[in-house]
Structure 1
Amino acid sequence: MSQRTFVRRASGNDSPAPARARAGGAGILVAASLWGTTGTVQTFADGSSPFSVAAIRIIIGGLTLLALAAATRREGLRRLVADRRNLPLLALGAGAIAVYQTAFFVAAGRTGVAVGTIVTIGSAPVFTGLIGLAARRTVLTGRWALATAGAVTGCTLLVGGGLADGGQETGVEPAGIALALLAGLAYAVYATAASVLITRGEDDRAVAGALFAAAAVPLVPVLLAAPAGWLLTGSGALIALYLGVVTTGLGYQLFARGLRGTPATTATTLTLAEPAVAAVLGTVLLDEALGGLAAGGLALLAASLVVLVAPARGSLRRQGTRTAR
């Protein structure tokens, strides 16, 4: 038997089937929009800690995704874990999810949520591009580079503008920055591992279920060690279910489905929509002011994402080579 390995162009429309690529990009944007609601929703969980929130999200989300895969893609799930070639990628992706969650929240505690968010989310697309280049899976185009640079700049202005307009003060602590970069790298590793498995032909539901179920295991001790009394309240339980089932279960299933027609490099850039949604929700629901600098960043971020997902003029191609399986 043989498999096809692809060198994929990292642009806004890389698939030979443009409709599928656009649908994948739209799904990833919806996923990022769901993730953007987590910060606002978390503010209503009185007594919660970042560690308990992160852990319960992955635990409930992992169980949700695994149950979905087992109910609808049992054969695909069985085939995924039975193929020994997949096991290193599954272990790498699951470990990256756990590291991403932990490193980000520790970084946010050390250097502030705003700086931690900028460094983590902004570095993830860059790391994904570098991983793709190193693995010779991706050809980075000027369009991707322009859109990514604009989106990262817009994200920085959006989050940093809140500080300039009177938001919380933060310190640029080297250890915190290093942890935020680690979180960005971990997210890039997860996205790349999932993309490789899905483009290899594995079912996206099976991949998402296996990765997040495995990632939930090391986070159980984190949940047990963190203050979790808020989960015993009615509102706390509802918030945990929303964060786990909707933002994680549904969100990452949409992300995995989007990877069928969207390369990981483009996908991670599209996830920069997350802070934009968070900013809008903060303005509408929490009466947070959005200053001029932040508003400009939001506009730049939105424009960059439009550039990334808008159909390209020329036909896009994949270059395939056959290798022994």
Structure 2
Amino acid sequence: MDDNARRRRFVSGVLPILLAAVLWGSTGTAASFAPPEASALSIGSANMGIGGLVLLAAAGRSVLPLLHGGPRVWRTIVAGAVAVAVYPLAYYKSMDLTGIATGTVVTVGSTPAFTKLCEVIGERALPHARWVGASAVSTLGVALVVLGQRHPDEGAHGVWETVAGVALGLLAGASYAVYSYSGARLIRQGASSRPVMGVMFGVGGLLLIPVLAATGGPLFESGSGLLVAGYLALVPMAFAYFLFGRGLAHIAAGTAATLILIEPVTAAVLSVAVAGEHLDPLGWGGIILVGAGLLILDNSK
């Protein structure tokens, strides 16, 4: 890959994904300002439920050709939308059961492997050695970041709670893999990223609205809760997934899944700078490893 091609790939594909991941990394700090009575399920369903409907509205009439794409297109849309709905519920409940550190590392750390598995099954595309190396280095870095981060509000968790939380974290990682692969597949088939993100996240958002209606009372009963819900729906959801869709049009879903490993790094830095948490030297070493993995990935084909 020559320098011009690498530069275009970075600007059009890598940079939007990285910016989206940075915005996603702000969700934990933003959620810390929600009322204590607001549940993890209400925050997660507000994030992707309302945000998904915003993406659908922003896509407007551009979604019509996609809606008339036939059964094969709709199977991909439905698979992605169900994954969109499952992801925030599994992810936030995983953190609730196991703590922020474990829930984050299981979910985000498992995402690249699940996404590559989707590509192997759907495209018969075996991973190349550089991708494996980059993902391994970055995933180790993520593990060190979350292990080096102290969460004073996290208490001890029972064995079965931890097992259930880890399983939900793996489910969240697999869900992210399915909807990112589904979106990338539709884009590769000729659809634009804007209607793809609008339809997939809009349908997923509709699936989450009943959950939000059942759990969202405490979140919407205060000004701080409304601000948190509005920020989560508009910035790390609607705008970030617009960027994510743009990036998916230029790079593979497996590459995107490795790039989003910058998300827990962002979350760790923000928790130190804003929420007053502490990151040990182990964690800062993890940040260096994540950066090294991303550099390896950016130099791959």
Question: What's the CA shift for 1:257?
Answer: 0.7
Hey, what does 1:99 align to over in structure 2?
Answer: 86
Structure 2 contact 106–173 (Cα < 8 Å) conserved: yes
Structure 2 contact 35–218 (Cα < 8 Å) conserved: no
Q: 1:237 aligns with which of 218, 226, 239?
A: 226
Structure 2 contact 35–224 (Cα < 8 Å) conserved: no
Structure 1 contact 27–255 (Cα < 8 Å) conserved: yes
Amino acid at match of 2:270: L
Change (3 A) 1:175 1:230: closer
Unaligned stretches of 5+ residues in structure 1: 1-12, 317-325
**Secondary structure at 2:148's aligned position in 1?**
helix
The question of 1:127 aligning with 2:150 is answered no
Change (3 A) 1:230 1:185: closer
Amino acid at match of 1:234: G
Query: What CA distance in whole angstroms lies between the structure 1 residues aligned with 2:49 and 2:55?
Result: 10
Can you list the C-alpha shifts for 1:32-86, whole angstroms capped at 9, x where unaligned? Answer: 000001111111112322111111111221121111110xxx2x41111101121
Query: What CA distance in whole angstroms lies between the structure 2 residues aligned with 1:102 and 1:149?
Result: 27
Structure 2 contact 25–267 (Cα < 8 Å) conserved: yes
Structure 2 contact 20–241 (Cα < 8 Å) conserved: yes
Question: What's the CA shift for 1:98?
Answer: 0.8
Structure 2 contact 50–233 (Cα < 8 Å) conserved: yes
Structure 1 contact 69–209 (Cα < 8 Å) conserved: yes
Hey, what does 1:142 align to over in structure 2?
Answer: 129
Structure 1 contact 60–244 (Cα < 8 Å) conserved: yes
- Name the stretch that deviates more: 16-25 or 142-151: 16-25
Hey, what does 1:181 align to over in structure 2?
Answer: 170
Unaligned stretches of 5+ residues in structure 2: none
- Aligned pairs for 1:5-20 (under 5 A) are 17-20=5-8
Structure 1 contact 28–270 (Cα < 8 Å) conserved: yes
Change (3 A) 1:292 1:166: farther
Q: 1:49 aligns with which of 36, 39, 45?
A: 39
Q: 1:59 aligns with which of 26, 29, 49?
A: 49
Percent of matched pairs sharing the same residue: 40
Higher Rg: 1
- Aligned pairs for 1:297-308 (under 5 A) are 297-308=286-297
Question: What's the CA shift for 1:17?
Answer: 4.7
- Tell me the C-alpha RMSD between the 2 structures: 2.0
Structure 2 contact 53–202 (Cα < 8 Å) conserved: yes
Can you list the C-alpha shifts for 1:110-154, whole angstroms capped at 9, x where unaligned? Answer: 222211111111111001111211223534111111110011100
Structure 1 or 2: larger helix share?
2
Question: What's the CA shift for 1:178?
Answer: 1.5
Change (3 A) 1:247 1:166: closer
**Secondary structure at 1:168's aligned position in 2?**
coil
Question: What's the CA shift for 1:193?
Answer: 0.4
Query: What CA distance in whole angstroms lies between the structure 2 residues aligned with 1:231 and 1:167?
Result: 23
- Name the stretch that deviates more: 112-121 or 245-254: 112-121
Question: What's the CA shift for 1:244?
Answer: 0.4
Q: 1:69 aligns with which of 59, 64, 72?
A: 59
Question: When the two structures are aligned, how many residues end up with a matched partner?
Answer: 294
